[in-house]
């Protein structure tokens, strides 16, 4: 009987202390029973996923859907002299600061720059693009 009274007094003391602090028991403040493991991690143990790797400079991927004449100049140096690439061809060009592309049939080219789709033009249209690395991103200009 003494054990029962001591347990009852301990419970009443905890309830009184909780009332004075203004908190109410709930899912956030309730403790699991002894010996029972928590199924979800505590908020302090959850870590956000790491950010994707940052791309420095320009990476252009050209995937040809039809024949297209292509010239590429990276940072002032010609990296692909004018030649016709066939449908299905895939080429990748890199530049630190400026990549200039001339496309003989712009609509034939699916262009991705640093993972983002870029508009090129229409089938049969000749376009010149300047891709410039500026303030951590690529700025595309039709010239």
Q: pLDDT tens per residue, the chain (143 residues)?
A: 565 555 655 655 665 555 555 544 444 444 455 555 555 555 567 888 877 666 689 999 999 999 999 999 999 999 999 999 999 999 999 999 999 999 999 999 999 999 999 999 999 999 999 999 999 999 999 99
93 Cβ contact list (under 8 Å, min separation 6): 58, 59, 60, 62, 72, 74, 79, 80, 99, 101
Coil, strand or helix: which one is 134? strand
pLDDT at 93: 98
3-state secondary structure 53-122: CCCCCEEEEEEECCCEEEEEEECCEEEEEEEEECCCCEEEEEECCEEEEEECCHHHEEEEECCEEECCCC
- The DSSP bridge partners found for residue 62 are 91, 111
99 Cβ contact list (under 8 Å, min separation 6): 58, 60, 72, 73, 74, 75, 93, 130, 131
Coil, strand or helix: which one is 139? strand
CA 78 – CA 71 distance, rounded (Å): 8
- Its pTM stands at 0.62
pLDDT at 50: 77
């Amino acid at each position: 009987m003494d054990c029962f009274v001591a347990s009852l007094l301990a419970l009443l003391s905890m309830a009184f202390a909780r009332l004075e602090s203004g908190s109410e028991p709930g899912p956030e403040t309730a403790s699991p029973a002894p010996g029972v493991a928590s199924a979800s991690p505590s908020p302090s143990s959850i870590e956000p996923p790491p950010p994707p790797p940052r791309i420095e400079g320009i990476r252009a991927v050209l995937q040809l859907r039809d024949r297209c004449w292509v010239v590429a100049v990276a940072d002032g140096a010609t990296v692909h002299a004018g030649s016709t690439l066939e449908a299905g061809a895939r080429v990748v060009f890199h530049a630190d600061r400026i990549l200039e592309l001339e496309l003989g049939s712009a609509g034939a080219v699916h262009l991705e720059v640093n993972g983002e789709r870029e508009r090129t033009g229409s089938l049969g249209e000749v376009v010149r693009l300047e891709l410039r690395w500026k303030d951590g991103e690529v700025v595309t200009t039709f010239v």
